[in-house]
Amino acid sequence: AQSVSQHNHHVILSEAASLELGCNYSYGGTVNLFWYVQYPGQHLQLLLKYFSGDPLVKGIKGFEAEFIKSKFSFNLRKPSVQWSDTAEYFCAVNAGGTSYGKLTFGQGTILTVHP
Amino acid sequence: DAMVIQNPRYQVTQFGKPVTLSCSQTLNHNVMYWYQQKSSQAPKLLFHYYDKDFNNEADTPDNFQSRRPNTSFCFLDIRSPGLGDAAMYLCATSRGGQVEETQYFGPGTRLLVL
């Protein structure tokens, strides 16, 4: 069965700092990869996803992620964070085998951005 | 513009007293999912419906059941809640038909077991 590992439980940054959140998955076949974000008091929502093509994908609010197949990684990046990026970020994988989006999530990374 | 609605947002129940959580959607999606998320842990898929077809995860306890009477509604029944079942329960939907499709989540119901 597939699994997803997020390296950091809590990341604290100042505004304008660069961000990289690590995500590794364990599955040898074709995968679809997602980052979801949960802002305080809100529901989970999609930030970006990769399913084929260019391994560098761009999402909302200036986020991007790079799929590196050889490293089984899908790290999330943002060059300059804002206070409003304070949220919990979840990496997720769909390892195929179905015709719909059944997901396995990582444990999440809480990002706190200080003004 | 609420798309996935969960009621109630907070639910308190007693040890062993059956409880039902509800989820409704306005997206007309084919697939509905229930996740359990305990504190500081990943959301864990319990089961899902593709239309009327029920799919249970292998490690979901028998204590958890689900019903989907129509496209719009899905219920999570916990027959005899234990203290370990206290968690956030998330409902999600997806269109169905594509492995890369997005899931749309509700706000969750936080269950407290006394």
Positions in chain A short of pLDDT 70: 96-101
The span from the CA of B92 to the CA of B38, in Å, is 17
Determine, for residues B98 and A99 on separate chains, whether the beta-carbon distance falls below 8 Å. yes
Per-residue burial over B16-44, b if 16 or more Cβ lie within 10 Å, else e, is eeebebbbbbeeebbbbbbbbbeeeebbb
Per-residue pLDDT at A78: 98
Longest CA–CA span in chain B (Å) reads 41
What is the model's pLDDT at position A100?
66
Q: How many CA atoms lie within 13 A of A7 on its CB side?
A: 9
Interface test with A, best of B34, B99, B110 (most A CBs within 10 A): B99
User: pLDDT-based confidence at B14, cuts 50/70/90?
Assistant: very high
Summarize pLDDT for B71-113 with one digit per residue, the tens: 999 999 999 999 999 999 999 999 987 777 889 999 999 999 9
Nearest-CA neighbor of A109 among A90, A86, A82, A83? A90
pLDDT tens for each residue of B37-83: 998 889 999 999 999 999 998 899 999 999 999 999 999 999 999 99
| Number of A–B residue contacts, CB under 8 Å | 69
